[in-house]
Amino acid sequence: MSLQPQIEILNWGLVDYREAFRRQEQLVQQIIDQKTCEKIIFCSHPPIVTLGRGTKPGDVFAWKGDTLEVNRGGRATYHGPSQIIAYPLISIAGDDENYVSKKIPPRDLHQYMRALEQSVQKLLTELGITSQTQALKKQVGALDFEEATGVWVGDQKVAAIGIAVKKWITSHGVALNVNEDPDSFQGLYPCGFQTSQVISLEKLLQKKIDSSALTLRWSELLQDVLIKH
């Protein structure tokens, strides 16, 4: 068997969140059963607020749309058609023949999440945007500043991260805010922060974004941070 892992890149386009969630769970089980190869999936969703395992009372207080409890880490957040979402379904177990080609240390969820953030940082750098990860931020109602996951530009978050792992196969992933949507992130504290602390690439660059070209380049960068070539 080749030491280069086979990872299939899929673009599901605009897909209902529940359908995407169902497909992810099926594919994760197929990867566990070695019936299919690892995947990196790109898509976007109709507006929905998902409630991660860390959601707290009061996180969603005036959202009028669809909501769904999910198995990812993190708190409540919004997903919508103005975003590009990346769902890597890959093994970080460290006990498969292909693992020598992975850049992530075995079973290291912390480094895996840092790699996801790094892919976005690299993308933003190419767009001329300086960003930070593990930035010290204070959530709504918190007394102290803590390191916040995701990718930040100053005090505003442009990409959110929430993952799940089953038998060391990852799912869920990164939501990148691409186009401006005034109705997004309303009526909730996204990831525990104020709505005003969320920003899009369109607002940062003051121009519309070519989502297809952006997805293609992000795909290349994600593979670069996850796989040794």
End-to-end CA distance of the chain: 16
Give pLDDT, residue 203. Answer: 97
CATH number at residue 59: 3.30.930.10
Task: Evaluate whether residue 23 is within a structural domain.
Answer: yes
Task: Evaluate whether residue 218 is within a structural domain.
Answer: yes
Distance CA 175, CA 78 (A): 9
Average pLDDT over residues 183-197: 96
Considering 191, 198, 201, 204, which one is annotated as catalytic?
191
Reduced to 3 states, what is the DSSP secondary structure of residue 16? coil
Task: Evaluate whether residue 2 is within a structural domain.
Answer: no
Work out the burial of residue 35: count CB atoms within 10 Å of its CB; fewer than 13 is exposed, 13-18 middle, 19 or more buried: exposed
Q: Which domain holds residue 95?
A: 7-130+159-226
Kindly indicate the confidence band of residue 94, based on its pLDDT and cuts at 50, 70 and 90.
confident
Average pLDDT over residues 104-109: 91
191 is catalytic: yes
Q: pLDDT tens for residues 165-177?
A: 999 999 999 999 9
Tell me if 117 sits within 8 A of 159, measured CB to CB.
yes
Give pLDDT, residue 2. Answer: 36
Give pLDDT, residue 154. Answer: 96
Kindly indicate the confidence band of residue 4, based on its pLDDT and cuts at 50, 70 and 90.
very low
Task: Evaluate whether residue 104 is within a structural domain.
Answer: yes
**Does residue 36 carry a pLDDT above 70?**
yes
Task: Evaluate whether residue 1 is within a structural domain.
Answer: no
Give pLDDT, residue 102. Answer: 82
The pTM (predicted TM-score) of the whole model is: 0.94
Kindly indicate the confidence band of residue 228, based on its pLDDT and cuts at 50, 70 and 90.
confident
Average pLDDT over residues 110-121: 97
* Percentage above 90 pLDDT, the chain: 85
Give pLDDT, residue 3. Answer: 37
Reduced to 3 states, what is the DSSP secondary structure of residue 219? helix
Kindly indicate the confidence band of residue 5, based on its pLDDT and cuts at 50, 70 and 90.
low
Task: Evaluate whether residue 168 is within a structural domain.
Answer: yes
Average pLDDT over residues 68-86: 97
Q: What is the mean pLDDT of the chain?
A: 93
Distance CA 173, CA 163 (A): 5
Task: Evaluate whether residue 192 is within a structural domain.
Answer: yes
Q: How many domains are contained in the chain?
A: 1
β-strand partners of 152: 132, 157
Reduced to 3 states, what is the DSSP secondary structure of residue 227? strand
Task: Evaluate whether residue 173 is within a structural domain.
Answer: yes
Among residues 50, 51, 52, 46, the alpha carbon closest in space to that of 73 is found at: 52
Tell me if 76 sits within 8 A of 175, measured CB to CB.
no
Element (H, E) at 111: helix 109-126
